[in-house]
Structure 1
Amino acid sequence: MDVDLLVRHGHVIAMDDAGTLIPDGAVAVAGGRIVDVGADATVAARCVAARELDAGGAPVHPGLVESHLHASFHTFRGALPDHLAEDDSFDTFESVFYNHVTDEDEYLAVALAAIEMIRNGTTCFLEAGTVLSPDSAARAASLVGIRAVLGDPFIWDQPDGFAQGMRAAAGNRSRIARAPGSRAEALDRLGTELRRNADPDALVTGHVAVLGLGTASEELMLAAKSRADAAGCVLNIHQSYSPADTGADRLRFGKDPLLHLADIGFLDRNVTLAHANHLGDEECEALLDRGASIAWAPAASMMWGHGGCFRGRHAELHRRGATIALGSDSPNWSNDFDLFRQANLAVLTAREAHRDRTYLVAEDGLWMATRAGARAVGLADWIGSIEVGKRADIVVHTLRRPELVPVTDMVRNLVYSSRSKSVSTVIVNGRIVLDEGAFVGVDEGELLREVQRSSTALLRRMGKVVEPNRVARRG
């Protein structure tokens, strides 16, 4: 069999239902898809490859799937002081940002996010519906060669519904001139990005996004659900992020939010809830019953002190069979787009919270970052495992890192020690986009210089000067 690419002598971690591990394995790729997987000697004997890649015994696994990401904020990563309250950040930074950011700024921000994700072993991301110019995001994703699932920006019809501390930003809705100004406008824009799904082999596709956090009426939410159902795609919404918005939803609905969403037919298998840090017992049962997914962002919860890692139900729900995927959220919330970090935090905080070393293990973290992520972004049939017929989104590590040596248990080594540091070669849709640490088709140095120029100019237009934290020493 003639193939385009043959990855040889890899420690293949297939992430299939059988938990297949092949210490000396090979993966054959043709036409952007995986066409053969197995022992190296067997696969090599039946394949003639245009190019062979020798993994040298290093881990080979499916690309990680980023299930909750705000890609455009990269242009002011690190700009928010640690002592700035979250409600102030919405008012003083984000709403100002959206009134000054240009399409080119967003293009460069998404390109920066994309090269960071590729270097960290992430081959697909779902953008949470906050890039004002999805076409700019699509152009950036195509440049780098990463798989992207885009949504319409700021689908909301009651932006003043932000709870308590978030109300400041929502009350300034008029400052976000490019966001929908009415329910009619939101309904008109809803589902626009689904046009990208006409090509079954597209690298950039669309999903239905609703901002959430109290900003969407039931009419808008049910319209979004109907469009996602018709399109056969995922519906992504922020839900139960903080005590404030969770409490406001409880007042609005007269019961726990997920119970109400189940009652009205919104909570369903094709719905992915971003964060879901604060769930009650009955809500957990409803989520398990309806099959909705959660995109858990451990670092973001920890950075802002929301308690999701220690009082949240994510680990418990994963153990009970729910789809718990992982997300990096955004710069200034977790600050780096590294799903190995999220997987590591998910496993370790679950153990600490439950005081049980076995509550989650390394395999759980990798599952969340691959198989669960693929389902949460609506691409479970495409990606998330190394199996014949799936798209060839593959990450190859290198043993030329001390963290992966000695070669013992590769999954534990990946999640606990090397994480993204050992990523060497990344393949997306059968194409090598990172070749032994070097990008193919992207001048990384020049891109980083352009991003810095864009960030400097944007912050100047916003009237922001980044200064060190000035917090008095305590104690």
Structure 2
Amino acid sequence: MSERAIAAQLLIRHGYIITMDDAATVIEDGAIAIGQDGRILAVGADREIASRYAAAREIDAEGAPVHPGFVECHLHASYHLFRSVLPDQLVESDSFDTFEGHFYNTVTDEDEYLSVFLASMEMVRNGSTCFMEAGTILTPEMGAKAAQEVGIRAILGDAFIWDQPQGFSQGKLEPDDGCVTCATQARLHTELARAPRTRAEALATLGVQAKRNADPDALVRGHVAVLGLGTASEELMMEAKACADAAAVTLNIHQSYSPADTEADRQRFGKDPLVHLHETGFLDRNVTFGHANHLTDAECEALLDRGASIAWAPGASMMWGHGSSLHGRHAELWRRGANVALGSDSPNWSNDFDLWRQTNLAVMAARDVHMDRTYLVAEDGLQMATRAGARAVGLEHEIGSIEVGKRADLVIHTLDRPEMVPSTNMIRNLFYASRSKSVHTVVINGSVVLEAGRFVNLDERAIYARVREASRDLLSRMGHVVAANDVGRSMRRR
């Protein structure tokens, strides 16, 4: 190190730097200097940065794309032990019996820990460096432990903030469902042994996870999550909003997911749900609505007026046939200036935690429905997955772009993929061809978590074996039998 060189912890050189800054700056032969605190010290041309900084370690990107880590804004991280168990022919109203009636009264803390661990690994491998969980981990401490050990940035909510859980089943039932089904579903939801049953019980845990933010450098932080979908009274919703405002965090809530729950809210409020929430003061810039698949013109105006965010999960809607591609207003709202982020939902709804897939589905579906190739373009998708995501989780000043002072949450791709050859247009190749397949190295908070497609500090084979065993045990306790020979064949294929 020369006397004039500035010390850095890590120097990423010769990258095609997609900064996602206000000017959409792209640096074709760029470098990023990262300090000991995990923040970005400098970004610019490689020749300039390399002459000014000397680092303990250098990574040569070899001309491959480098971009901000993606931000997952809507997911359920504790279901991975029975991913893809729900058969394709299962109707959605029946699926909730499996989740609420069996899963949550069977799952253990160890199961949740392993599920979040596997979910975190999957996200990192696919280029996501931060996720906001939807408030459905029964023991958030297990989720925090798993996220910290994997090394991913996580934003957790308190579990099942609701005071009328029976509203969930009522909102999901089809109009011709009988009262017996309704009563059965309501009983199952009410009897979740480890979830709140009353407003007093919900208020007792409301805001607990937000206390994690006392440490501004913590990798795992908190927000306020309300389950929504008819399960929370207006009184509880307003208490949650006040709690989120006081803690200066995001309030995350499911909203207008299916036609059934949307109509149930409309009947409950006597008008369009978001119009009502605008009038009560609930609708605000720090609120992020999961899904929001079914909005009216008036609701779009209300959302634009207050600056609330949407976490669009196109794969989940497509999986269950909810029609957000056809009827959703996400792309239109984005073009009008709304903050639209992305999410993968759960391992039985979109079935993978790959935000590259979600952003690609969002762009392609919008083009197809509007019959307009230019309606959304690759850059729109990248911005949804980075800057819009950072704002939706309340961290727009910390992550989402490659800028001096921000956290070094970065994804380095490789050009050694057939999809990246020839590199005629780096962003087009990346977005439409390689996507997560070319993810090579992932840096979170300045630390290399994934290198050359392998986790630096994890024994992956041991983890997968442990998860397979835990999954068999959980499914057995739930009454599902996984044939040992099927598991064996799966393992041999690997």
TM-score past 0.5 threshold: yes
Give 1:187's match in structure 2, choosing from 163, 183, 203. Answer: 203
CA drift at 1:406: 1.1
Distance 2:62 2:295 in 1: 45
Give 1:39's match in structure 2, choosing from 40, 45, 54. Answer: 45
In the alignment, does 2:452 pair up with 1:436? Answer: yes
RMSD of aligned residue pairs (Cα, Å):
1.1
Conserved 8 A contact 2:39-2:407: yes
Conserved 8 A contact 1:241-1:275: yes
Conserved 8 A contact 2:161-2:202: yes
Give 1:462's match in structure 2, choosing from 450, 453, 478. Answer: 478
How many residues were matched structurally?
468
Q: Structure 1: which amino acid aligns with 2:32?
A: V
Per-residue deviation, residues 70-90 of structure 1 (Å, max 9, x unmatched): 000111001000011111100
- Counterpart position of 1:20: 25
- Counterpart position of 1:211: 227
Give the match's secondary structure for 2:122.
helix
Give the match's secondary structure for 2:40.
strand
In the alignment, does 2:419 pair up with 1:407? Answer: no
In the alignment, does 2:311 pair up with 1:285? Answer: no
Distance 1:191 1:409 in 2: 46
Deviates more, 1:174-183 or 1:459-468: 459-468
In the alignment, does 2:312 pair up with 1:296? Answer: yes
Conserved 8 A contact 2:244-2:250: yes
Conserved 8 A contact 1:196-1:205: yes
Distance 1:436 1:338 in 2: 18
Structure 1 portions without partners, runs of 5+ = 469-475
In the alignment, does 2:146 pair up with 1:146? Answer: no
Conserved 8 A contact 2:164-2:197: no
In the alignment, does 2:397 pair up with 1:381? Answer: yes
Conserved 8 A contact 1:311-1:353: no
Give the match's secondary structure for 2:101.
helix
Give 1:2's match in structure 2, choosing from 2, 7, 21. Answer: 7
1:329–1:169 Cα change, 3 Å: farther
Q: Structure 2: which amino acid aligns with 1:12?
A: I
In the alignment, does 2:116 pair up with 1:100? Answer: no
Conserved 8 A contact 2:171-2:230: no
- Counterpart position of 1:116: 122
- Counterpart position of 1:472: none
CA drift at 1:170: 4.0
Distance 1:92 1:272 in 2: 27
Q: How does 1:232-311 map to 2 (within 5 A)?
A: 232-311=248-327
Distance 2:369 2:305 in 1: 25
Distance 2:163 2:171 in 1: 18
- Counterpart position of 1:71: 77
- Counterpart position of 2:34: 29
Give the match's secondary structure for 1:295.
strand
- Counterpart position of 2:164: 158
Q: Structure 1: which amino acid aligns with 2:7?
A: D
Conserved 8 A contact 2:166-2:190: no
- Counterpart position of 2:189: 173
Distance 2:376 2:281 in 1: 32
In the alignment, does 2:376 pair up with 1:360? Answer: yes
Distance 1:156 1:82 in 2: 29
Give the match's secondary structure for 1:268.
coil
Give TM-score scaled by structure 2 length: 0.93
Give 1:90's match in structure 2, choosing from 85, 96, 108. Answer: 96
Conserved 8 A contact 1:104-1:136: yes
CA drift at 1:435: 1.2
CA drift at 1:297: 0.1
Distance 2:339 2:124 in 1: 24
Give 1:129's match in structure 2, choosing from 131, 135, 139. Answer: 135
Deviates more, 1:438-447 or 1:210-219: 438-447
Give the match's secondary structure for 1:236.
strand
CA drift at 1:408: 2.1
Conserved 8 A contact 2:100-2:189: no
CA drift at 1:155: 0.3
Conserved 8 A contact 1:129-1:152: yes
Give TM-score scaled by structure 1 length: 0.97
1:279–1:143 Cα change, 3 Å: same
Give 2:54's match in structure 1, choosing from 48, 59, 67. Answer: 48
Distance 2:185 2:413 in 1: 43
Distance 1:435 1:197 in 2: 29
Distance 2:323 2:424 in 1: 34
CA drift at 1:466: 5.5
1:329–1:170 Cα change, 3 Å: farther
Distance 2:207 2:287 in 1: 15
Distance 2:366 2:18 in 1: 23
Per-residue deviation, residues 229-284 of structure 1 (Å, max 9, x unmatched): 01110000000000000000000000000000000000000000000000000000
1:210–1:170 Cα change, 3 Å: farther
Give the match's secondary structure for 1:72.
coil
Deviates more, 1:162-171 or 1:189-198: 162-171
CA drift at 1:164: 4.3
Q: Structure 2: which amino acid aligns with 1:227?
A: C
Q: Structure 1: which amino acid aligns with 2:172?
A: G
Per-residue deviation, residues 35-60 of structure 1 (Å, max 9, x unmatched): 10000000000000100000000000
Per-residue deviation, residues 332-351 of structure 1 (Å, max 9, x unmatched): 10000000000100000000
Per-residue deviation, residues 207-237 of structure 1 (Å, max 9, x unmatched): 0000000000000000000010011100000
Per-residue deviation, residues 136-176 of structure 1 (Å, max 9, x unmatched): 00000011000000000000000111234355544312431
Distance 1:154 1:199 in 2: 25
Distance 2:275 2:473 in 1: 46
- Counterpart position of 2:3: none
CA drift at 1:441: 1.2
Distance 2:46 2:114 in 1: 40
